[in-house]
Amino acid sequence: MKWKVFVLCIILVLAVFAAGKFSTTTIGGVATGYVPVFTVVGDVEKPLKVDTLEGFERIKEIVVVSGAASPDNGMGIISPTENIGYMTAGRLYAGIRLNFPVFEGKSSVENDGKTYGVSIYTQRRMVDLKTVIEEKHGNLLIMGRNGEYRRVKNDGYLEIGDNTIDYVCPDLKNRVADLAGIMVDPPVGSIMDAYYDTLHFLENDKNVMLIILDGFGYHQYLYAVEAGHANFLASLPPANMATSVYRPVTNAGLAAMYTGKPPEENGVNSRKQKDIKTPTVFNDALVMNKKCAMVEGDIKILNTSLEPRLNVDKNSNGITDDEILETALEYVNGDYNLLVVHFHGIDDSGHSYGDIHPSTMEAVSRTDGYVKELVSRWKGKVVITADHGMHSTPEAGDHGSFCFEDLIVPYIITDGEGRK
Ligand SMILES: [Zn+2]
Ligand SMILES: [Zn+2]
């Protein structure tokens, strides 16, 4: 290694500390002959300023790659049961030589009765999706950071955007910008089914109770059933897997369930939004002259046409779920056609202790009892699901990331009274 290159290495390594972003910098003139690509793994706070360096004509490009890829600074590749890996734009760029000639059109001129034509290609920083995701995974679910939710075949391309990875459709035109991740072999169900199932039952003159267990991932369900913390849920037919939406947080999850639409369409893709852009199941139920109620905790999460009945921790035992149950039972005994009951205790405990911590399993067990009481009294159909799941963190638990623990939840349909 020549001394100048060595000095450049030192400069770059010094620059790669703090948390950072990927950037590419082209230095020097257009090199002739051998053009090495210089890759540095680390983190940089700001794009490197190396354009004043001289004497590096033989280096065409410097790629600075984030040292750690995580669900929050890159694109995830997961299955419903495993987090396969995370990739940043820089890693993708450095790992694969991306020079994809894309046909843009033809141009021709007439001269002396002859036509001279030329085809125009541009070089795009793009890679065939199959080079990243094995061909055996034929069905994929793509989620974008803007709340896009697309089921696609394993074809198309990944393109490096401005420090993002975009999915480009096989037609090379349509795209999902800034991928949060790709789920391989996704389950057919999603929490958006809650909207369609509810509507279907109401249209068939069946009453529906939608029970939402906040922050209860499918892996927690399996664990709880196996370990005897959810005896009532275990007595029901096994839950199906359903996907949540991105970001897997309460607002986005509830809006997806109430509208049947992904966040991209209903406008709720994070904890920031409360207003829903598309009609909800409550609007539809009103048109059908159905009587609806929603039993919530102490905070109104979304602005819906149906005002939620809020519940505070009256007995100061640290949870509102017991008050929620009490209120829900009032409605169960009334003549309601649609009743939404949203329990919060599993999520609260998951944040405080972790997704499968004994304290969280205690919350699961308590909630399981509440669900049993409601289901045994309800006359009609019951849908039991969750807005999102919960993953372990070094401290406790959290959700909102592109990982299977947050994105796969249980989905159960059962009957109320007369179930046995
Ligand atoms: Zn939630
Ligand atoms: Zn939460």
* pLDDT category of residue 27 using cuts at 50, 70 and 90: very low
Residue 316 has pLDDT above 60, yes or no: yes
What pLDDT, on a 0 to 100 scale, did the predictor assign at position 134?
Answer: 93
What pLDDT, on a 0 to 100 scale, did the predictor assign at position 320?
Answer: 97
Q: What's the average model confidence in pLDDT over 354-361?
A: 98
31-40, 93-102, 403-412, range with the lowest pLDDT: 31-40
Are 65 and 91 spatial neighbours (Cβ–Cβ below 8 Å)? yes
Are 73 and 88 spatial neighbours (Cβ–Cβ below 8 Å)? yes
C-alpha to C-alpha distance for 226 and 215, rounded to whole angstroms: 18
Residue 399 has pLDDT above 90, yes or no: yes
* pLDDT category of residue 133 using cuts at 50, 70 and 90: very high
Ligand located closest to 347 CA: 2
What pLDDT, on a 0 to 100 scale, did the predictor assign at position 208?
Answer: 98
Ligand located closest to 191 CA: 1
Residue 211 has pLDDT above 80, yes or no: yes
C-alpha to C-alpha distance for 308 and 296, rounded to whole angstroms: 6
Q: How far is the CA of 348 from the centre of ligand 2 (A)?
A: 6
Q: Is 132 helix (H, G, I), strand (E, B) or coil?
A: coil
Bridge partners, 86 (sequence order): 76
* pLDDT category of residue 56 using cuts at 50, 70 and 90: low
Domains and CATH numbers, the chain: 3-67 (no CATH), 76-104+117-184 (no CATH), 189-415 (3.40.720.10)
* pLDDT top residue among 13 and 163: 163
Q: How far is the CA of 212 from the centre of ligand 1 (A)?
A: 9
Q: How far is the CA of 268 from the centre of ligand 1 (A)?
A: 13
Mean pLDDT taken over the chain: 86
Protein residues with C-beta less than 5 angstroms from the ion ligand 1: 214, 250, 347, 387
Q: How far is the CA of 347 from the centre of ligand 1 (A)?
A: 6
114 class by beta-carbon count within 10 Å (0-12 exposed, 13-18 middle, 19+ buried): exposed
Q: How far is the CA of 194 from the centre of ligand 1 (A)?
A: 15
Q: How far is the CA of 172 from the centre of ligand 2 (A)?
A: 38
**pLDDT, tens digit (0-9, with 9 covering 90-100), for 269-309:** 999 999 999 999 999 999 999 999 999 999 999 999 999 99
In terms of Cα–Cα distance, which of 367, 411, 419, 382 is closest to 210?
Answer: 382
Q: How far is the CA of 407 from the centre of ligand 1 (A)?
A: 12
- From first CA to last CA, the distance across the chain in angstroms is 77
Q: How far is the CA of 247 from the centre of ligand 2 (A)?
A: 12
**pLDDT, tens digit (0-9, with 9 covering 90-100), for 109-122:** 888 888 888 888 77
What pLDDT, on a 0 to 100 scale, did the predictor assign at position 41?
Answer: 46
C-alpha to C-alpha distance for 400 and 396, rounded to whole angstroms: 14
Bridge partners, 212 (sequence order): 342, 385
